[in-house]
Chains A and B, each alone.
Chain A
């Protein structure tokens, strides 16, 4: 499986990860090599094998729908890059 610069640009956009023009070729080469490794999976016929998403066969646990956490907004926002009046700041999205 060989990826080119255009493939990398598309995947990088989906991942919201800027990839510079001058690193795109090296990234395409590395990703292609990893996909070659992964392609070894195709030697096994897995028809009818149930997929395993998780090591333990357990259902998702449920709990009563009640508040269990105290309000720690100030603590949690202390580590944020930019906040104001308890809100997270981002570049303007609505003109």
Chain B
């Protein structure tokens, strides 16, 4: 019996389209049917684009019939609602942008559109990507397909829940402090945050501009590599986009990993790590050794300072970026403003949720006169020390491995009342953003029916190596093939 469409890899789907086994319209229809059936219980999408999707599928079918499609032509996907999509509401999970229809496509969206992909919808997310549980969204929380009483992680929680539930074969996400990797871990997916500057931020609604980076959430490293290939590369519209050639990721996926030096940071296996998660991560690392890798204990001495440093740098940049929401040019505007100050203050108070407000206020405070040196300058110095830890480590090892998240998916509401406890759930992911390094999460062995993520971090622009190591591990294990109950 042939594999159901929603269990096939991107490569298998592309081959099926070329062999005329099914059309792109049939593929989109299959996924739209799953969305209609399963998403009401998950809330993973804020917008479904059935009509546009079928039109794009027809265009892809015509292209394939002419024989001029590429590896992604006709394949469906979901975009995180942080990416601007021309003519389609782009809410960023916020009341502020509830009625905002983007007048242009983000570069990530434009490149995937040009490749012939079919957008099924826009994924729910923590408001302005600020959160680790997808509970801060104006559109309500997303549920984890593995257990609807638990969070999918955040901020790309809708993207992760949708791909885990097989509502799309792949989705885009963004990662400022772990927002691709942590939901990938909690939902059993493979997600990669590329090197800062590898993927254009143009049209990706800004949270913290020196940390934000887009990337795919997929069911395998092989699928993630295909999508990253399509979106990576220089974009003159983004002044921090790096003008350097993008390697052919698929070409090195199968390379052997004998002799690979894997660093295990002792700070990532200490207090705070759930022992069952630790065991699962160690099992995955043992598998890497079985495949020929050598492991060596290393130290990333300033690990404990990554969260405090991040909660100065990210809010500071957030307070500056979100100053643009003033109720004048776009976004929510309060009724009957009595003067200009009232317009600004009430539009912003009504448009933003509690977590976004907290971060704007913290950011405003740490940048204000008299506090700048103690907070912002200090955080930038610590950022330097955290980056130096990695520089030293990568002189000795090829990749760094450890847990993505200290626990499996937590319960809805469990951490929602306490911002600081929520912040600490990103303890292992934040450092890669501060340093600008590529990092990914892929499934290790689940515990108690819940997924666990193995994190791999690499040196600058070492995405190909990360994907290669992940792919080899996935060739040897089946942890990434597990399906949430009810999603078969």
A interface, CB within 8 angstroms of B = 3, 8, 11-12, 14-20, 27, 30-31, 33-44, 46, 49-56, 58, 60-61, 63, 72, 75-76, 78-82, 88, 90-93
14 further contact pairs, Cβ within 8 A, besides A51-B381, A56-B196, A58-B240: A17-B357, A18-B346, A27-B357, A34-B362, A39-B308, A44-B305, A49-B385, A51-B384, A55-B210, A58-B242, A61-B239, A63-B236, A82-B333, A93-B340
Listed A/B pairs (26) with beta-carbon separation below 8 Å: A11-B361, A11-B365, A12-B361, A14-B364, A15-B361, A16-B323, A16-B348, A17-B360, A17-B361, A34-B420, A37-B308, A37-B423, A39-B308, A42-B378, A43-B305, A49-B385, A51-B381, A52-B381, A54-B210, A55-B210, A63-B236, A78-B101, A81-B327, A81-B333, A91-B338, A91-B339
Residues of B within 8 A of A56 (CB): 196-197, 240, 242, 436, 460
CA of A88 to CA of B437, assembled, Å: 41
- Of all A-B residue pairs in the complex, the 5 with the closest CB atoms, nearest first, are A55-B436, A51-B380, A81-B333, A46-B381, A18-B349
Docked-complex contact A41 and B236, CB < 8 angstroms: no
Residues of A within 8 A of B435 (CB): 55
Residues of A within 8 A of B242 (CB): 56, 58
Say whether B326 faces chain A, with CB atoms less than 8 Å apart: yes
Residues of A within 8 A of B343 (CB): 90-91
Docked-complex contact A60 and B239, CB < 8 angstroms: yes
B302 nearest in chain A by CB position: A44
Residues of A within 8 A of B326 (CB): 16
Of the candidates B328, B387, B423, the one whose C-beta lies within 8 Å of that of A52 is B387
B interface, CB within 8 angstroms of A = 99-101, 103, 196-197, 210, 236, 239-240, 242, 302, 304-305, 307-309, 311-312, 319, 323, 326-333, 337-346, 348-349, 352, 357-358, 360-362, 364-366, 368, 375, 377-385, 387, 419-420, 423, 434-437, 460
Residues of A within 8 A of B302 (CB): 44
CA of A36 to CA of B114, assembled, Å: 48
Q: Given contacts A16-B326, A49-B381, are A38 and B358 in contact (CB under 8 A)?
A: no
Docked-complex contact B103 and A52, CB < 8 angstroms: no
Residues of A within 8 A of B210 (CB): 53-55
Query: What is the CB-to-nearest-CB distance from B315 to chain A, in angstroms, rounded to a whole number?
Result: 8
Docked-complex contact B103 and A41, CB < 8 angstroms: no
Of the candidates A31, A39, A49, A78, the one whose C-beta lies within 8 Å of that of B358 is A31
CA of A75 to CA of B86, assembled, Å: 11
Total number of residue pairs linking A and B with CB closer than 8 Å: 163
Docked-complex contact A38 and B436, CB < 8 angstroms: no
Q: Given contacts A41-B382, A75-B103, are A15 and B196 in contact (CB under 8 A)?
A: no
Docked-complex contact B420 and A33, CB < 8 angstroms: yes
Residues of B within 8 A of A8 (CB): 361
SS class, residues of chain B in contact with chain A: helix
Docked-complex contact A90 and B103, CB < 8 angstroms: no
CA of A31 to CA of B362, assembled, Å: 7
CA of A36 to CA of B366, assembled, Å: 13
Q: Given contacts A17-B352, A79-B330, are A37 and B197 in contact (CB under 8 A)?
A: no
Docked-complex contact A17 and B348, CB < 8 angstroms: yes
Docked-complex contact A17 and B345, CB < 8 angstroms: yes
Residues of B within 8 A of A40 (CB): 304-305, 308
Residues of A within 8 A of B375 (CB): 38, 41
Q: Given contacts A15-B364, A17-B348, A91-B342, are A41 and B358 in contact (CB under 8 A)?
A: no
Residues of B within 8 A of A17 (CB): 345, 348-349, 352, 357, 360-361
Query: What is the CB-to-nearest-CB distance from B432 to chain A, in angstroms, rounded to a whole number?
Result: 10
B90 nearest in chain A by CB position: A79
Query: What is the CB-to-nearest-CB distance from A21 to chain B, in angstroms, rounded to a whole number?
Result: 12
CA of A17 to CA of B423, assembled, Å: 23
Residues of A within 8 A of B196 (CB): 55-56
Residues of A within 8 A of B364 (CB): 11, 14-15
Residues of A within 8 A of B340 (CB): 90-91, 93
Docked-complex contact B357 and A81, CB < 8 angstroms: no
B339 nearest in chain A by CB position: A91
Residues of A within 8 A of B366 (CB): 38
CA of A15 to CA of B345, assembled, Å: 8
Docked-complex contact B307 and A37, CB < 8 angstroms: yes
Query: What is the CB-to-nearest-CB distance from B192 to chain A, in angstroms, rounded to a whole number?
Result: 16
Q: Given contacts A41-B379, A51-B377, are A80 and B419 in contact (CB under 8 A)?
A: no
Q: Given contacts A16-B326, A17-B360, A55-B196, are A37 and B311 in contact (CB under 8 A)?
A: yes
